[in-house]
Structure 1
């Protein structure tokens, strides 16, 4: 179920997510002998899921314009109060309206930001775990997470107004 949910969040389409899930388990079965046990099995499975999802997204977007890593420009975000980004508490996530809005906003994120946001904020992985799964540097994970949160903050502006996230 976790593999499917990760694939669905990445692919934004149920059929594509099912394809990713199937390919993930087939790949895991074929490559099981390469699992060295240096990480948890599920972390290894997540990595396979992310790799397959990202490859399918790259294949899908061939010929399309690339997303610039400098967009939005870091200087334009720097002054924002991103440190006030809320932890997704149970009360907030129990709001059906908010979950739908968040899901839709996450679907709109460029894949390079979406993967980091999903792993860090929705799946609850640490920066180090995310770094290893996505084969990124720690600073790259942090920058991509900050940019993802910025985009989401812009899309979910009304929920970030005073008192909205505290269930008031």
Structure 2
């Protein structure tokens, strides 16, 4: 899943070496749905997530020269998206207050709101802290390895592993899901 295809490698090389905006546009097309889906899970607001995704891709174009080829390109993009999301959240300190005024439910109440209308994943993620939600989304929804999640979130590998374990336990406890060991 995280394998870099020959097409992607070619596009990265063209975008880097020749500042080829068209090649970068193709890279965006390849990865925009994963980046947008990640941001939608984080922001819980489709329009805001799409705005942040747009900002993330513009920033990625400006910072393309910093992509070293270490790790996956999608991991690099998701790191930019995550940092852009955090920056956006810091800038709008009144974010939750404004959403409440517009009639949106705060995160804590999301689990009691029309459970049929949201997917199981959204329901499970709603009970987690922002950091736990980011880690779980990067790992499970985006398919990054624990090492890539560690790089993306700027957290030690051990912290990522314990956040994942703690998040799973929170979800199991809240939704009374039995843990089955596969052996």
Shorter-chain TM-score tier: 0.5 to 0.7
Q: Closer, same or farther in 2 for the Cα pair 1:4/1:129, shift >3 Å?
A: same
- 1:105-124 per-residue CA deviation (whole Å, 9 max, x = no partner) reads 31332111111111122322
Larger RCO, structure (CA 8 Å, separation 6 or more): 1
Give 1:112's aligned residue: 131
TM alignment of 1:47-86, pairs within 5 A: 47-61=79-93
Q: Distance in 2 between matches of 1:36 and 1:51?
A: 18
Structure whose alpha-carbon radius of gyration is higher: 2
- Aligned 8 A contact 1:47 1:134 in 2: yes
2:67 paired residue number:
35
- Could you say which residue in structure 2 is the equivalent of 1:128? 147
Q: What is the aligned length? A: 129
Alignment RMSD, CA only? 2.7
Structure 2 unaligned segments of length 5 or more: list them: 1-32, 97-115
Structure 1, unaligned stretches of length 5 or more?
A: 65-96, 164-168
Offset of residue 61 of structure 1: 5.0
* Partner deviation per Cα, 1:114-152 (whole Å, 9 max, x = no partner): 111111223222111111111111111012112211222
Q: SS state of the match for residue 109, structure 1?
A: coil
Residue of structure 1 equivalent to 2:163: 144
Shift of the 58–154 alpha-carbon distance from structure 1 to 2, 3 Å rule, reads farther
Q: 1:24 to 1:139 in 2, by over 3 A?
A: same
Runs ≥4 residues deviating over 2 A: 54-62, 121-124
Correspondence for 1:80: none
Residue 26 of structure 1 aligns with which residue? 58
